[in-house]
Chains A and B, each alone.
Chain A
Amino acid sequence: MTTEQPRSRERCVEQAFQVVAAALDDVGADRQSLFLARLVLILSNEVGDATIIRTAVERARANLP
């Protein structure tokens, strides 16, 4: 993957990091999974490309600590 991200994308990832972190703290440990699953469904619908989702899932899973 490319290491040089456009400025807007960098912003987006930063934003995601921060708002998701805040939401995770807010919903509490027992509802974090449900929240993340809801988020994935909404984002998948926005992305509208099954290949992107499948690849993203694989990358997220690979080397999961």
Chain B
Amino acid sequence: MYFEWKEFPFRRPPELDGRRTRYDAAIVGGGPVGLAMALSLAQRGVRCVVLETQNQVSSGSRAIGVHRRTSQFFDRLGLGGPFGETARPRGRNIIYYGDQLVAETIYERPADEKWPMLMTLQQCWMEQIMLDGLSRHSGAEIRWGSTVTGLLYAADHVTLKVGTAEGPYEIEADFVIAADGARGSVRRWCGLEFETPVSVPVSERRFVICDFKMECDLPSGRRLWLDPPYQPGTIVIMHSQPFNSWRLDYAVEDGEDAEAEAAPEKTKERIARHLAMMGIDAPWTLLWTSVYRPLARSLQTYRQGRIFFVGDAAHQTPIFGGRGLNIGYADVANLAWKLAYALKGIGSEALLDSYSDERRAIVMEALEDLAQATIFMTRPTPGVSLMRDAALSLSLTEPFVAELFDAYRARRGEALESSFVTPDLKSFIGPKPGDPLPDARLRTFDCAAPRNAFLYDLIGPDFTALYFAVNRVSEETRLRLSRLERLGIPCKSIVISERAGERPERDAVIDAEGDAFKAFGARDGTLYLTRPDLHVAARWPDADFDSLELALKRAVGTPELVPV
């Protein structure tokens, strides 16, 4: 087995003996998103408790795809080490028609990025790494074997009813984060329902997903077969995973029974036929098998007063393109700092609303972006079947058809459309307001010897102003940058110099490889403001510190500065 599941004991909480504590936040659900939320909050000094029904991390065929943004997220949680040691880069994306190669994309590792574009890691490992991280924080507590059975809303807090083996109790928190998944109860108690965007077809199509263990020197990657010879007319996807695990993913055909198809005997038969087609005769063992139905749904809002919805509890994206959990982590990155600021009295009530507005827009866009791949894979109507057959049969000779079925080619919008972001007065090359902040290789002189570092490693948990300097930085500029810390909104600054002077200053950060100036379209005096979740909040081709202060206030929702 690639993972040793252990049972975490239920520990009798003080509430069962009549002692009450008001927590800053209670997280319903200890899956990957709930644990990430707990860690992100604990890292920001928020006292939180996670309530999880199970007594162990998840099992079965679950999330494996990790986008670069997620690797960076783990890194910023202080988990880059263990994460990097366990996750494996996805080397390539290969498409076959029948048994012929249609396209092969090799993912090169760009030198100016710390993390590969795509990695794979089993969900149980992601959860375990988060748990290990949490064990180093006293501010976060996980309660296993604890099921939230109801909630009571008060003006200044929420009370959760918790059921345990040793009886029920109540727990109070300023905020509740619902990370209780697609079948979660919290949304029902709040009277919220999922809806599917009109442009996305609803399909009853089921897929079988099974993982098996096999030692084999096949290079890592995702392989997609259109019309495999042993099962014409179908599409089969095979993923490599860490620890010699592999995943096979295929649709249940019309007239077949999903549960019967996912039975271990049937699945083994399919794996055997598939490996025979590939000419692989290595021994293998089946690990898991499950039935999956692609859903494209979102709540209308991810916030209900003091309750916030994250991950699958807020939305479900179809599996094609491997986005689901990545979107969940991005929810956490967006929400954690806002909650922490709200608890410290920084920013306005509207800042909390912005979580829902910003994330929902991105999720709806992702559902639209994945609509084509979903239609293609699920074949909801005879018309779609005909068009799919046409596209499949062209895939060898007409490369353009790949865009119809390769979800990894679909657009991946990560830019925020938000009134909390200050639009450009003067546009220029580089990441626009709302865009994810690019990373860059830099050299620092914070100790005696110069040291290589990535920009992301230098950015703290709060707002950061990035000032680009070609010439010597004036005293006036230094003064204005240092004044940022006095606005009552946590903000640091980093000066990125184009080159090291004769004697670099103690805190100098040098763009030794030229990455940063290029990535940011910067010249002498260019200024960026980045949010704690590493999206550009505002930027100026030539620094304007009065505007910077306004942009910072706007980014936390200072009322008169956020247009309605």
- Residues of chain A touching chain B, judged by Cβ–Cβ distance below 8 Å, are 33-34, 37-38, 40-42, 45
Contacts and interface: CB of A to CB of B under 8 A. Distances in A.
A38 B394 contact: yes
B391 to A, nearest CB: 6
16 contacts: A33-B386, A34-B386, A34-B389, A34-B390, A34-B393, A37-B387, A37-B390, A38-B390, A38-B393, A40-B390, A41-B390, A41-B391, A41-B394, A41-B398, A42-B398, A45-B400
Interface string B399-416: 011000000000000000
A1 B387 CA distance: 29
A45 B391 CA distance: 12
B394 A42 contact: yes
Contact of B398 (A33, A34, A40, A45): A45
Contacts of A42: 394, 398
B226 to A, nearest CB: 14
A28 B390 CA distance: 16
Interface string B55-84: 000000000000000000000000000000
In the complex, the 9 A-B pairs of residues with the closest C-beta atoms, listed nearest first: A37-B390, A38-B390, A45-B400, A37-B386, A37-B387, A38-B394, A33-B386, A41-B390, A34-B390
B389 A37 contact: yes
Nearest to A40: B390
Contacts of B386: 33-34, 37
A45 B399 CA distance: 11
Could you say which of A33, A34, A40, A41 has the most chain B C-beta atoms within 10 Å of its C-beta? A41
A52 B544 CA distance: 47
Given A38-B393, A42-B394, 11 more contacts: A33-B386, A34-B386, A34-B389, A37-B387, A37-B389, A38-B394, A41-B394, A41-B401, A42-B398, A45-B398, A45-B400
Contacts of A33: 386
Contacts of B394: 38, 41-42
Contacts of A34: 386, 389-390, 393
A42 B387 CA distance: 12
Interface in B376-392: 386-387, 389-391
Contacts of A41: 387, 390-391, 394, 398, 401
A34 B387 CA distance: 8
Nearest to A36: B390
B395 to A, nearest CB: 11
